[in-house]
Every structure is written in C-alpha cells, then in structure tokens.
Amino acid sequence: MGGKHYLPLTDEDRREMLSTIGVESIEDLFSDIPSEVRLQKELDLPPALSELEAVRHLNSLAAKNKHLNNCTSFMGAGVYDHFIPAVIKHVTGRSEFYTSYTPYQPEISQGILQAIFEYQTMICQLTGMDVANASMYDGGTAVAEGAIMGCGSTRRSKALVSRSVSPFYRAVLKNYFSSRGLDLEEIPLKDGHTDFSKLEEMVDDQVASVVLQQPNFFGLAEDLDGVADIIHNHNAVLVMSVDPLSLTLLQAPADYGADIVVGEGQSLGVPPSFGGPLLGIMAARQKFVRQMPGRIAGETVDSEGNRGFVLTLQTREQHIRREKASSNICSNEALVALAAAVYMAALGPKGMREVAEQCLQKANYAREKITALSGFEPAFPGFNFKEFALSIPGKPEELNKKLLQKDILGGVDAAPFYPELENTMLFAVTEKRTREEIDTLVRELEGWK
Amino acid sequence: MRKSKALLFEMGRSGRQGYSLPSCDVPEKPLDELLPQKMQRSEPPDMPELSEVEVIRHYTELSTRNFGVDTGFYPLGSCTMKYNPKVNEEVAALPGFACLHPCQPEETVQGALELYYNMEQRLKELTGMERFTMQPSAGAHGELTGLMVIQAYHRHRGDHKRNKVLIPVTAHGTNPATVTMAGYEVVQLPADERGNVDLEALKEAVDDTTSALMLTNPSTLGLFEEEITEMARVVHDKGGLLYYDGANLNAIMGYARPGDMGFDVVHLNIHKTLSTPHGGGGPGSGPVGVKERLIPFLPVPLVDKKGEQFYFDYDLPDSIGKVQSFYGNFGVVVKAYNYVCMMGAEGLKQVSTDAVLNSNYLASLLQKTYTIPYDRLRKHEFVVSAKPEKKKGAGAGDIAKALLDRGFHPPTVYFPLIVDEALMTEPNDTESKETLDAYAQAMEEIAKDIDKDAEKVAAGPHYTVVGRLDEVRAVRNPVLRWEKE
C-alpha cells in the first residue's frame, strides 16, 4: 500500500480502536453510506510510487520544461523574473509557518499574525494607503474585488476599466461582474495609454469604480495628473492596479488620488510558478475598510497588557456574516504575503529602489538598442518602467521560436489580447538581465526578416 | 515568560542592508530623462533598513510564536490539518516547475501540462466527474467558479428565472457568501433531528427558481446525508443542479464519489484532502470538476492532449472565461499530484478509513465526559457541544484556550451554528492512537478543572507566549498598521 509512512495506525491499533467504538469491522463504520452510492469497485489509479520513485517521476516531468533558470527570459505581462534572495525560502520554509492554518487561535499564532501586520504596514507605506489586507489570490482577483468594493461603497453597479489594464485582469473582472449582474465598460486606448478624454466622457453619476493600471500592461507610466479629480467629481472611486516594486520609484498612488490600490505582488520575491501561487495585494483609504474583503490583522493587548495581534473586523467576513459578507474569500495567499514581507524587509527602501532603477535603466537600454535595428519600432511613445511594446517585422510566434534555439524566452505576443496590435510584442527586462544577455538578444533580432 | 516581540519597524538602522545586487552594467541615463519628475516618488517609503541576520532572527523568533501541524495535533474541524509530506515541498521547488513563466510557448512547458493532465485524470476517477479545471485558487474560489458555471448553463438554455441557491444550515460560511458573490439569493434549509438536511423542507423549497443546491457531504456535523439520492432526485426533477463542496472529501475516498451521488459540480480543497500545507492561511487550490453537460462552460483554458503533445484548449465558446490570471495555483497542484502518486488507490482509501476510524474512536473517548449531539456513526469529524460546561462557567472558547496550555491546537469553535458551544473536531488520518488518547485525556482533565474552578479555566490560556488577546478592543479601536509615534 502507498503512503504507509504517513499513516501511523497499525492493524493492532485499528482492532483496539474498533473495539473501543463497539463495532466489529471497518466496514461497519461506513454502513451509513447508502448502498446505492457506495463505490462498487476499487479506484482505478496508477500503482502507488515510493518516495524515491515519485521524486524520479516528478523530476522527469520537470526536466521536460524549459525554465527561467536555464533560459534567458524577457517575458513579463504581469509576472517577472526578478532576483529572489535566499533568505525568503528559509523563512517560508519554517514549518511553524507553512504547516499552520489561518490564525483563528491568536495566542499560538502570534508569528504569522505579526508577520501579516508588518506586511500590511509595508504595503501601506508603499502605496500611501491607510489599510491593507492580508492578501488576495492574485492580481486579477484583486482587481475584480477592488472594483466590487467600489460598487459596495458607492451603492452603484457599474465600473469602467481602461484597456491599458492587463487583459488577464480584465478577463477575471469581466467574469466577476457579469456573474453578479454588474455593468462593465472599457475605456479605449490612445497610443498605448488610457484615453483620458474618453474617460471624462464616460464617467458619470452611475459609475462606481474606475480601474486603471500603473505602469500599464504595455509597461508605460501613465500621466495621472488630475485624473482622480475627474473621477471624484462624480463621487466615483479610483481603483489602481500597481506593481508594488515600482512604487519606490513611481509616485505613490495616494499622491495622485487613488482610493483603492490593488495589484500583483509577484515581483516581491515570489517565484513565477507557471502563474500561481501569486500574490494579490489590496490596500485602501480608511473609509473603505468595512467593504474590504479578506483577512486583516490588527493590534491589541493580552490579559497582562502585552502587545499582541489578532484577526480583526471579522464582521466583514464570510464565517461571521455569511451571505452579507464583503466577499467569500477564506483561504488567501498568506505564505506568499510572508515571502513578500521578507523580501521587503531584506531589501528595505533602498534595495527596492535600486532594483527598480536597474529595471528602468536596463529596460530603456534594451528598448533603445532594439529600436535602433531596422524593422523594430516602439509600438507607442511614452515612458517605460521595466517593460515595453515593440512593433516587429514578423510574427511574434516565429521570433520566439528563433530565440528559443538560443535558449532565450522572448517576449509576449500582444495580438491575442489586442487584435489591432498585429506583430506587436512585449519585452520585460528586470535587474537580473545583464548587458551581455541584452546584447545577445539584440544580436539575435538583428537582421531577422 | 510572556513578552511581546519588537516589530520590524522598531529594529534596524539607516545604512544597514540585507541584500546584495550586482552593479548596473548598462550605461545609465539621468533619471529625469527616463521618467518625468512629476511621475517620480517624492519621499522614500518609511520602511526599516535591516541586515540579513536581523531579518532571519526576527522571522525565526516569530516562527517560534506559531503552531503548525509539525508542532502538534491540529484537530481543526473541516480544515483537514493532516501532515504535509516534506517531499512535496521539494518537488514543487524544482526549477522546472517553480521557475516557469505562464506565457512560455507550449512546447517549453510540456512537463507542466502533462502534470495538469495527469492530475485531472486522477481527480476524475477520485470524484466520478468528467472534467476538471485547476484554475480556482482556493475552496471558496472553486465555489464561485462552480456557481458561475451553473449560472452559465442555465442562462445558455434561456432559463433566466433561476435566482436562488439552497444551502443547509450546517454549510460553511463560504457557501452563502459565494451565493451572493454570484448574484444569487440564499435559501437556507433546516436540519432534521438526525442531523440530515430536512428532506420535507427541501421539497418545499425547490421550484423553478432554484439554480442549485450546495451541499457538503459528509456535513460539517461529520454526518453522511442518508437521503442523498432522494435529495438529488428532488432537485434534478425541478431542473436544479447539485453542487458538492469538497471540503470534507477526506472522509469518503474510495468509498463513495460525489459524481455517483448525483452531484453535477464538485470542488476539492486539495490543501485539505490532498495534503498540501495551508501556509498560515494560503495558498490553497480548489479544482472544480463537472459532469458532461457542464463542460462547455468551464473556465479557459483546459489542458488537453493531441497525440503525444499537450496543449491549452481555449476553444470553448461558451466558457465563463477566467477566474484567475493564469492557470491556477500550479505550485500547489504539483504537491498534491506527488501525494496522489505516492498514495495510489489503496493508500487513499486507507486515508479515509483511518480518518473515519480516528474520528469515531476519539468521539467514543470524549463521549464519556462530553455531550456529542446526533448519536450515530460519524465520518471524518464530530461536534462536541460544551453547553453543559458553559453553564458551569467555561464554554467552547475557554476549553479551546485550555487546550492551548496542554500543547494542542483546539477544534474549530462555535461552528456549525446549529450546535451550541460547538467544538468541531477533525482528528484526520495522520494521527496515531497515542495522540488521540493524550488529547482525550487532556479534554477529561479540562472537564475536571471546570468542575473545580471554572473561573480559572475561563481566564486561560496561562502558559502561552501571550495571554488571552482582547479581540473586542481590536475591533473597537482598530490598529491595522504600525505608525510612527
């Protein structure tokens, strides 16, 4: 039998226990399952593997993949190849953290509760918001829940979302809205940026939330000067999707008037893992706290006056409020939030700023070098943070095939999400890319087509 | 000795660093040339500067203030806190899995797709369903996905009047919250005196506005719904669908399958049943399986195979779309897949056997001292009612704190709501008889302590790193972040 090393009961234990219970056999314990639904066969699964055989099997599957450690990656689109310091896995690998459940019993969960409290604080410091929660599943669900929060707080049922927001997030948003019977309209693009004049026309007193992204899906920093005023004039809410790593360099969302800040936190020391687990971040101004979904850790004192932490404001949550809860979220991405917290603690404000500046410098170096080649043009004018869109002289799929021969994971094709952007590709350049790697990419692109 | 732990923000010193980066090797341009000044941050965020050793000592100390399955017995009801095999962590960290970008070309991720494909085959067999999506990131996320699929199915048939979802009173809180998220109304069904869903009430509640019945079976009382076949018939006869909340699947693997009970949609909590760790709150994973007629509405993409090639299938015109940015919590699925490979059919059935045996055994021991309503066979969990103890001066919450002092994680308290002073107890399959005996003994001692001095018990815990925390104060005066004095 497989997995015996995880099942401590011996046959003798089982006999003794059955006798204590007062039944004859194991079968008696399952006699409450009506015979018409009893499985009349054994499950048809492949033979059990020993630990060694399982590791061999999983190794052989892993070996069939190319990955960011044996290729040079320029892929982004919301998930980036950033450097992850060793300290992170040594903290998240402590099993007192990773084998615990949601901290319902605070007196024996001070470790994770304090870590979440500190994580919330750092997310607030980065975004300029007053409160943050303990995490959402990913950027897409954080965007959707942020827009729904706006609906809850304004008691309106419509949102506007810019087409410059990640299409991956918009897909989730669209689904959440349609299921709930909420309206969603898209603000068109102008040169790869949100068309703010269109936003001005579209926003009215029916609109609850306006969702924008900084930097946007094309890696462009949008000029958000005065945008919040347009939105606030109609008492609507500005929901900003951000890359938290960019916030040591880019203006804090609070400074341009964001009300709710969401986004993907994968850039904070989280491996890409084929797109999950990721980290949904969520922060807001104080007045939205009662509409906020998910866990929130708060400070309190114990019976002797010592500082301690608990999950708090739980009357927002499903286990207390049931159908009146602000969301159904229960399990979140706590361990990933812990990883992000350790990342922020290790790098500090200066380290994160240095990473952000290197991304900016290297991405712009790459963009300049590539667009000097004939046939490669910037798809849009503007200021890029760590990613840029290029118009290229052929099909992205073919270019990626060619690059793959040199173990380069090229860019992301924009056309599946923006049919009008044929032969357009997104390239991301993080602090991990060396000048030599960028120059190699440029050489490979030179003379293609 | 009790003391609080310094916050990160109370540590460190300007000029320290806990990182090392290569220097920038491309020619640098002035910042203002690359980014207009008005878009730049004016002040750095107020965050600590720490050396690596400070970071590690901080988090190591925090970890000593936390209790996990590796620390001790964790009978948290409906959470299936079983042991998390160490090898799972190792395989999920392989660069061939952890370092995959979600946008990589299919030919470079064949191993990952094969793993998803294999996992789907195994989950289908385990549950009796016909297709699975791995996209939902947690159980509640699976519930939402499942209801979206059901909604799309009804809408597709032009059936727009179905605006209600039926839920038994014993349901997890996520069920009603999910119903609201999906734009439905909740209709709550009472339980009968045996703890089953009240069949008569169900018959009265079902009509042509019923979209679905959501059910956990066995229920949060740990009881198998004895009339499940009839319940399924009643709902199906009126055109409604059946949704299975798989939180409690650990009770029945190899013995019964939701697909055979008549369920149309199923979600699994693989961070419960299939051994992946809960991470202090997440990440989890909540794959959703459906019967044939609901396949067209599943989220895109599905994973399929053509010849020897695995690929993402986006060709589902009636799909609900996406519920997560990419393909779900792949890293969690890798761990669960490894577990299923190691357990095999016989091993998984033994898991459920031992989970149910442990639960009935522990209930037998506790029954000598405590009240356990619904005197019948239990599956993986059972619910103690501490109502008599509460009358003596120490209720479920106080018993929980007394367990902390004895080195145990307590059961889920005050849930399900239909049991007064509930202690929902799930001992699961990875616990030994000695552990259960020790727990039962501790519970017996606590009962004696309550008889002797209930006030002292109610003032606990006495030996934890902090004393009982003031949750009311945390709500009345919310402090949700550190701020500079």
- What proportion of chain A, given as a percentage, has pLDDT over 90? 96
Between CA B50 and CA A347 the distance in angstroms is 8
Nearest to B330 by CA among B168, B93, B34: B93
Q: Which of A6, A37, A351 sits opposite B260 (nearest CB)?
A: A37
Residue B406 has pLDDT above 90, yes or no: yes
What are the residue ranges spanned by the domains of chain B?
87-343, 351-471
Farthest-apart Cα atoms in chain B, separation = 78
CB–CB contact A114 B7 (8 Å): yes
Contact present, B113 and B311 (Cβ < 8 Å)? yes
DSSP secondary-structure letter at B292?
Answer: G
**pLDDT classification of A30: cutoffs 50, 70, 90:** very high
> A279 CA to chain B: closest CA distance, Å?
9
Smallest CA-to-CA distance from B226 within B423, B376, B424 is with B376
Chain A residues whose CB is inside 8 A of the B6 CB are none
Beta bridge pairs of residue B218: none
Q: Is pLDDT at A140 greater than 80 in this prediction? A: yes
Q: Which residues of B touch A248 (CB under 8 A)?
A: 41, 44-45
Task: Give the residue ranges of DSSP H helices in A372-395.
Answer: none
Q: Are A39 and B125 in contact (CB under 8 A)?
A: no
Mean pLDDT, rounded, for B243-255: 97
Residue from the list A9, A95, A302 with its beta carbon closest to the beta carbon of B354: A9
- pLDDT of A96-120, one tens digit each? 999 999 999 999 999 999 999 999 9
Instruction: Answer whether B331 touches A (CB < 8 Å).
Output: yes
Per the listing, tokens 């109609």 go with A234
What pLDDT score was predicted for residue B244?
A: 97
Q: Do B66 and A96 touch (CB under 8 A)?
A: yes
Residue A184 forms beta bridges with which residues?
A159
Q: Write down how long chain A is.
A: 449
* Residues B164 and B183 sit within 8 Å (Cβ to Cβ): no
Cα B12 to Cα A160, A393, B15, B17, B407, distances in angstroms: 43, 52, 9, 9, 34
Distance from CA of B254 to the nearest CA of A (A): 6
Three-class DSSP category at A30: coil
Give one DSSP letter per residue of B347-385, joined into a string.
HHHHHHHHHHHHHHHHHHHHHTTSB-SS-S--SS-EEEE
Nearest-by-CA chain A residue for B7: A118
ipTM over 0.90: yes
Residue pairs spanning A and B at CB distance below 8 A: 702
CA distance B184 to B31: 52
Rounded Cα–Cα distance for residues A108 and A105 (Å): 6
Cβ–Cβ < 8 Å for A277, A336: yes
| Spatial CA neighbour of B468 closest among B422, B400, B412 | B400
Contact B65 A172 (CB under 8 A): no
Architecture of domain B87-343: 3-Layer(aba) Sandwich (3.40)
Structure tokens at A171: 């897909």
Q: Is B464 on the interface with A (CB under 8 A)?
A: yes
Fold match flag (A72-83+349-445 vs A87-342): no
Assess whether pLDDT exceeds 90 at residue B1: no
Going by DSSP bridges, is the β-strand pair A207-214/A237-242 parallel, antiparallel, or unpaired?
A: parallel
CA B257 to chain centre: 20
What are the structural domain ranges in chain A?
72-83+349-445, 87-342
pLDDT value at A12 more than 70: yes
Q: Does residue B475 belong to the interface with chain A, where contact is any CB pair within 8 Å? A: yes
Q: Say if residues B387 and B396 touch (Cβ distance below 8 Å).
A: no
Rounded distance, CA B121 to CA B39, Å?
51
Work out the average pLDDT over A184-207: 98
The kind and range of the H/E element at B95 are helix B95-98
Structure token digits, residue A77: 């689109």
The answer to whether A32 contacts B223, with C-beta atoms less than 8 Å apart, is yes
Residue among B85, B105, B137 whose CB faces A276 most closely: B137
Q: Does B482 touch chain A (CB under 8 A)?
A: yes
Cross-chain CB nearest to A312 (options B122, B465, B474): B474
Contact by Cβ (8 Å): A141, B137: yes
What torsion do the CA atoms of B14, B18, B20, B23 make, to the nearest 10 degrees?
-20
Domains B87-343 and B351-471 share a fold: no
Query: The domain B351-471 is classified under which CATH number: 3.40.630.10, 3.40.190.10, 3.40.50.11540, 3.90.1150.10?
Result: 3.90.1150.10
Mean pLDDT, all residues of chain A: 97
Confidence at B319, pLDDT banded by 50, 70, 90? very high
Is the pLDDT confidence value at B231 over 80? yes
Cβ neighbours of residue B183 under 8 Å, at least 6 residues apart?
A179, A180, A181, B151
Q: Between residues 287 and 316 of chain A, which touch chain B (CB distance below 8 Å)?
A: 289, 295-304, 306-310, 312-315
CA B207 to chain centroid, in Å, comes to 31
By the CB < 8 Å criterion, does B341 face chain A?
yes
Nearest chain A Cα distance for residue B306, angstroms = 17
Which of B125, B176, B430 lies nearest to residue A43, judging by beta carbons? Answer: B125
Predicted pLDDT at A393: 96
Report yes or no: B102 at the A interface, CB cutoff 8 Å: yes
Q: Give residue A15's Cα distance to chain centre.
A: 49
Q: How far apart are CA A373 and CA A381, in angstroms?
A: 17
Token pair 């792949």 is at which residue? B330
Strands B422-425 and B382-385, sheet pairing:
antiparallel
User: Is B148 an 8 Å CB contact of chain A?
Assistant: yes
Strands (E) located in A80-192: 131-132, 158-162, 183-187, 189-190
C-alpha closest to that of B60 among A206, A422, A96: A96
DSSP annotation string for B17-83: -S---PPP-SPP--HHHHS-GGGB-SS--------HHHHHHHHHHHHHTB--TTTS---BTTS----
Please identify which residue in the block is written with the tokens 């300007």. B14
Tens of pLDDT along A356-409?
A: 999 999 999 999 999 999 999 999 999 999 999 999 999 999 999 999 999 999
DSSP B233-264: HHHHHTT-EEEEEETTGGGTTTTB-HHHHT-S
Q: How far is A123 from chain B (nearest CA, A)?
A: 10
A130 contacts in chain B (CB < 8 Å): 480-481
Is A72-83+349-445 in CATH node 3.90.1150.10? yes
Strand order in the sheet with A412-413: A377-378, A387-391, A424-428, A412-413
Distances in whole angstroms, Cα of residue A139 to Cα of each of A144, A247, A334, B69, B348? 9, 16, 15, 30, 35
Dig out the tokens for A320 from the structure. Answer: 């207390």
Per DSSP, helices labelled H in A323-391 are 334-371
**Angstrom distance (rounded) from CA B80 to CA B366:** 19
Burial class (CB in 10 A: 0-12, 13-18, 19+), A32: middle
Minimum distance, in Å, between the CA of residue B119 and any CA atom of chain A: 11
Topology of the domain comprising A87-342: Aspartate Aminotransferase; domain 2 (3.40.640)
Instruction: Please state, in angstroms and rounded to a whole number, the distance separating the CA atoms of residues A278 and B283.
Output: 9
With vertex at residue A42, the alpha carbon angle to CA B234 and CA B436, rounded to the nearest 5 degrees, is 85
| pLDDT, mean of residues B162-189 | 95
Q: What is the pLDDT of residue A139?
A: 98
Q: Which residue has the higher pLDDT, A421 or A1?
A: A421
Q: Which of A212, A328, A435 to mutate to probe the B interface, most B CBs <10 Å?
A: A328
CB proximity B441 to A under 8 Å: no
B124 class by beta-carbon count within 10 Å (0-12 exposed, 13-18 middle, 19+ buried): middle
Q: Is B322 on the interface with A (CB under 8 A)?
A: yes
CB contact under 8 A, A274 and B83: no
Helices (H) and strands (E) in chain B, counts: 15, 12
